[in-house]
Amino acid sequence: MMRLFLAIALLLPVLARTHAQTQGAQGSQPANHVQAEPSWTYRVNVNIGCNLIFTYGPGQRYAGYKVFAGASLSGLYHHSFVLNYGPSLAVYTKSLGANLNPLVGDIQLDLINSFSIGSTWGGSLPYLKFFRTIGNASYYNFVSGERYAALATSSLVLNNHKRNQVVGAVTFSSPSVTINYYNDGAFPFTVLPVADNFDRYWTGGFGMYFHNKRNYNTVEFSFDQFTGYSPLLYELSGLLGINIPVYDLTRDSSANKRLPPSYNTSAYNLKIYMDKGYAVDAGVIGSLRTTGGAVFGLQDIIHTLGHFPLHPNNDPNRFYIGGTYNQFNPIDVRE
């Protein structure tokens, strides 16, 4: 699937040159000739920003940081078919995906290459819609000016601690709201060949983006989950009927070395934009389970209803507040 996306991406410049030559030939025709609308139009957007989070929990008070950049490079064919390359870079600590122990410091760096393909319809909008296809940071790697869109995405995640994976996503976008779901090992990604189906690290998430007519989002609500990983442990647990696999082994007996630590936790986040580029964040992070054992994390609810093994998560629930700054830099290259 990745090769298919790359092949299509490489064809875009050829198509663009062919289109330009066609337009040049049309320009030599009589003046009363009506010039046809270009077949392909293009849009490029780059955004950079940072996120500061203050976390409050039992005996814990600490700050988390994220610095990020994202881009959206789209090719739109006759307002009905879209290809998008959405690269992103995120550096973060003391937040989802990093070690949340206040006594342990680690820096995580994710370089993600996201390739999306889909259908658009309903014509163009007088404003742009911003959303992302994976929830590791608050960048936007897809910018759309079409009324409706249905998309499939494959994201190659490269991490400085070798937590590499391929995550799939499906997205539906309307004029006022965009809904996105990503996962690396569940339906529909067991059918769509856009994820690696190993069910670890950035395990899954859900996002709702409420758009306004001023080229930014009014409200964003999201759920994201990060889990530990031991090769094939989760898959074997399902086959053996083990409800909760054990990720927290401290040593690899065969190599006598420490295994990568497990950072299992989940988070709900509410982001409210006060103005373009400035937002307030609030949410809860942890096991998302009550003291009585009831689960309210989206991923655990799905696994419980589907009778799938649960990812181990004993992280205490904590509340957090914070803020996000995002600088939008549209680069309009449409013909």
Strands, E assignment, the chain: 40-57, 60-77, 81-93, 108-131, 142-159, 165-173, 177-183, 201-211, 217-227, 251-252, 257-258, 265-275, 278-286, 318-331
Averaged pLDDT for residues 177-194: 91
Q: How confident is the model at residue 200 (pLDDT cuts 50, 70, 90)?
A: confident
Q: Can you give the pLDDT at residue 100?
A: 84
Residue 22 DSSP label: H
Q: If one looks up domain 2-12+39-328 in CATH, what number appears?
A: 2.40.160
Q: Is the per-residue pLDDT at 25 higher than 80? A: no
Output the pLDDT for position 147: 98
pLDDT band at 219 (very low <50, low <70, confident <90, very high): very high
Q: pLDDT tens across 262-317, in order? A: 578 899 999 999 999 999 999 999 989 888 878 888 888 877 777 776 666 778 89
Lowest mean pLDDT among 5-14, 113-122, 260-269: 5-14
Mean pLDDT of the region 168-190? 94
What is the reported pLDDT for 4?
A: 43
Tokens for 125? 């909008």
Q: How confident is the model at residue 211 (pLDDT cuts 50, 70, 90)?
A: very high
Round the average pLDDT of the chain to a whole number and report it.
82
Please state whether 99 falls in left (phi above 0), alpha (psi between -120 and 50) or beta: beta
CA separation for the pair 79, 124 (Å, rounded): 8
Where in the chain are the domains? 2-12+39-328
**Pair of tokens at residue 215:** 């080229």
pLDDT confidence band for 329 (50 / 70 / 90) = low
Q: Identify which has the larger pLDDT, 32 or 144.
A: 144
Q: What separation in angstroms does the CA of 82 have from each of 9, 10, 149, 335?
A: 11, 15, 9, 15
What does the pLDDT read at residue 261? 54
Residue listed under structure tokens 């090719």: 75
| pLDDT over 70 (residue 246) | no
Cβ neighbors of 154 (< 8 A, separation 6 or more) are 1, 2, 5, 114, 115, 166, 167, 168, 169, 194, 195
